[in-house]
Structures are given as structure tokens and as C-alpha cells.
Amino acid sequence: MKRKRQKKINYFFWIFLTLILVASGFMIRKFFFDSFENFPAKLNIPAGNRAMVKLSGDDVFREISEIEILENDTVLADNGNEIFLEIFDNSKIFLTKNSEIILEKMRQWSNNKTEISAKVVRGDIWFSVKRKVNPASSFVVSFGELNLQTLGGEFLIRNNFVAAVSGSAKIFHKESFLENLQLGQQIDFSKNSNGEFLAKKEIISPEIQSWDWFTIRSKNFELSSFPENLNDENKTEQNVTDIESLEKGKIEILTPGKNDEEVIVDDPVVISGKVPVGTQKVLVNDYQLSKFSPGDTEFKYNAATEWKTLQPGKNEYDVVAVLKNNEKVIAKIILIFEPEQLESENFSRSESLENKILENSKKCQIISPQNNESFDQDVVEINGSASEITSSIIVDNWKLQKYSPGDATWTYRLADKYGNRQVGKREIVVKCFDINEKLIGEDEIEIEILEISEN
């Protein structure tokens, strides 16, 4: 008699089948639910500038007026031009003169995660990264052998150097974490003899703060007072808003009051503010500002009795920004001038002004260092004084961007990273100018710059 054979369950088969189904489901989910879409960046070119773009797969740069930038396209602001890119997530990338960048990734996933990466090829580039809502999102900038990762903030990046105006970031070398970068800090990386990266972290330097792009993009940030461990959570959105206001065709008066305000003053003041990107010239009460150049976004105007631009009583000022195609944007401010004591009627104003200029010309001086000193430090600091009627200062053929009219002191530094620390005997000349660009004083010293001491 034959016995019935019992069917054995092939457990291995069912386990294998289950794994196949699970893996297939995972792949289907990734494909259908976690798919991403590539988004372009918009190229904006201020009036009088131009952009060169090397499209993905192309070998040469071509000049273009307006185009959508896609993944792996290279953008170059050459020959003194300045341009900026608007990313789909509202972040922005500003290319200063002779800067080059590659947009490597610009993606948004189905779950709203964004993935953006850019590579700095050369030059000084400003990144305004909008704070991410989705924590899985990433914004990565590679520069040299290093990577910066951030969820939001404002950063100036060049080869092996980063300055954080707002927000925070992490700096990596390949997969190795190197440093945290906080608000108001800068990091300069160098290599030792073993090829290891060494980080020099400090408060953002006066030279970086005096840089035009930095000044424009970092409104109202008193960086020198920021503690090194401060992690900004509030100013990122404010700073991004400040930048966006420059692009919306609005004049923003900042000092001594705001748009349409009446301000009581008892001394001469500087009316300053910001104008839209692409402004060709600025006029205040029909006077064209001679120190404003097409493309600038910041203006200053001296309201002073010496220049007959401020009189006792009510003074109205119309600030006019002339844009491309002669379009005009207007803002107003009123100053109520109440001087503490009016000059005697018998006192000659012309004689007073002449004596004042003569007196103040002596204040345009180099205070330190002394003549014929020698230096082997990596940074040489030049300090000086200026008079109350000084409107601008040129030191070593460089116009001090951070100097404000009326400041009593100024500082200028020589360093390799600024390209002005040439070895040898150097004649340092300072010249002070009034609001009409008339020379009112000068001074000079001779110093010797030596090779940097390793001690």
C-alpha cells in the first residue's frame, strides 16, 4: 500500500518572494513618490553689465542677455561686470567682478525637499540662502577642496575663505567635518606641510566689512559686536528681505531718518540710503551725486551749512533714482535744522569756512606707523585721522569704502589676501577730499615691508 506523500512548504521560496515584493515596493515608491524635478535659475544682469555662460556640454563661453540657467551650466561675470542669479527656492547668488560659478544641482523632490549645489571656480561670490522649511533640504557650496553646507544665511565665499553675515554653516573637507561657522565670523583655511587644513576663525575683518558688496548686502549688521558663539535665527529673513527690496524699484532712506519722515537735527548730517539695482544716477534736489556710479545701490549726500545744503528751519530733500530707459523713482525726507547758536551777522561766513578748511586740512594725517618703520607681520595696519568736513579718503590709491563723511579716524590694512602687501619699501599716501571732491589735506610716510616671519 502506497502512502500519501505530504506536501512540504518551501519556506525559502516564500521568504525570497516576500523580499522581492518589499524591494519592488520600495523602488516603486522611490520612483513614483520621491521623484525630483530639475528647476532652472534666472539670470539677472544690471544695466551696463554683461554675463558669459557656458552651457552644459559646451566648450566655450557665450555672451547672453537673459537666459534660464540649468544644471551644470557655468556662469562668468568677466571684465569688471556684476550679475546675480535667482534660484527657484528664492535663494540668490551674486557674482562680483571676474567671478565664475558652476550650478551643479537645482532640484526639488516630491516631498518639497530641495537640493541645490554650486561650485565656486574663482572670484568673490555672495550667497543669500533662504532658510529651508524642509529640514532634509540642502544648499551646498564647494570652494577649492572644501564644502559649505547651510540651511539659510548670507555668505561671502572665495577660495579657502568664508565670511558669514547671517545664519550659520558647517564646513567639510570631503567627508570629514572641519568647522562650524557662526554669524559674524570668517574662516580662512590654509594647509600645513602634511596637507592638512588649518582654520583661522575670527570676527569678520574691517576690510571685508568695507567691501562694497558686503556693505550693500549687510544692512544694519553691527558685526564687530557679535559674540563668536552667536547663532543667528532671526536676521536671515530680514537680510534677505533687504536684498529683495533693492530689486523692486524702491528707494530706501536710512539716515538720519526714513522715507517721508521729519527729523529734527542740530548739526550737519549725512542723508544715506539704498536705491534699486540698475540705477544709473542719483539726484538730491536736482544735484547729481558725482560719487555715485551706474550700478551702485547705495548713496550718500551731505546736508551741511558750509555747502548751503542745510539751512535753519525746514529743509526738504527729494531723492531721485534714474533707472534704465530714464524711468525715475522718488523718495522724500524733511530735516528741521535747529542749530544751537547762529553765527553772528558780523562774522564773515567765507572767512569762517576758509579758516575751518585750513584748520581741518591739518587733521588729515597718518597716526601710525611712524616713518621708516619695518614690518614682517602678515597684516600691516595703517591708522589715521580726518576732519569733520572730510567726505572721502584715498589711501595707497584705494578709496576707503567703509569711511563715512565726518568720521574722525580711519584704518587701512596691507595683507597678502587683499593683494596689497608687496615686499619692499612702500610710500603710503593719504588724501582727504570734501563733498565737492576738492583735496583738503594729505599726508605720507615711507615704510618697509619684509618677508613674513615664521616666528
Q: 59: domain range?
A: 36-245
Which three cell numbers, joined as nine digits, stand for 312?
535753519
What are 86-122's pLDDT values in tens digits?
Answer: 888 888 888 887 888 898 888 887 777 888 889 998 8
What are 320-337's pLDDT values in tens digits?
Answer: 998 877 888 999 999 988
Task: Tell me what the pLDDT averaged over the chain comes to.
Answer: 76
Query: Which has the closest alpha carbon to 434: 404, 394, 390, 402?
Result: 390
Q: Mean per-residue pLDDT for 342-366?
A: 54
Same domain, 304 and 264: yes
Rounded (10°) CA dihedral 370, 375, 381, 386: 20
Same domain, 384 and 282: no
Residue 435 has pLDDT above 80, yes or no: no
What pLDDT is attached to residue 36? 62
The pTM of this model reads: 0.43
Same domain, 152 and 272: no
Confidence of residue 429 (pLDDT cuts 50, 70, 90): very high
CATH number at residue 276: 2.60.40.10
Looking at 293, 308, 337, the residue that finishes a domain is 337
CATH number at residue 66: 2.60.120.1440
Q: Mean per-residue pLDDT for 339-354?
A: 48
**Structural domains counted in the chain:** 3
Specify if 25 maps to a domain: no
Confidence of residue 385 (pLDDT cuts 50, 70, 90): confident
Looking at 211, 245, 279, the residue that finishes a domain is 245
Of 35-49, 212-226, 301-315, highest mean pLDDT: 301-315
Give the sign of the dihedral formed by CA 411, CA 412, CA 414, CA 416: positive
Share of the chain residues as helix, strand and coil, in percent rounded to the nearest 5: 15, 45, 40
Same domain, 241 and 289: no
What pLDDT is attached to residue 18? 74
Sheet with 398-399, edge to edge strand ranges: 374-375, 439-449, 424-433, 392-395, 398-399
What pLDDT is attached to residue 31? 46
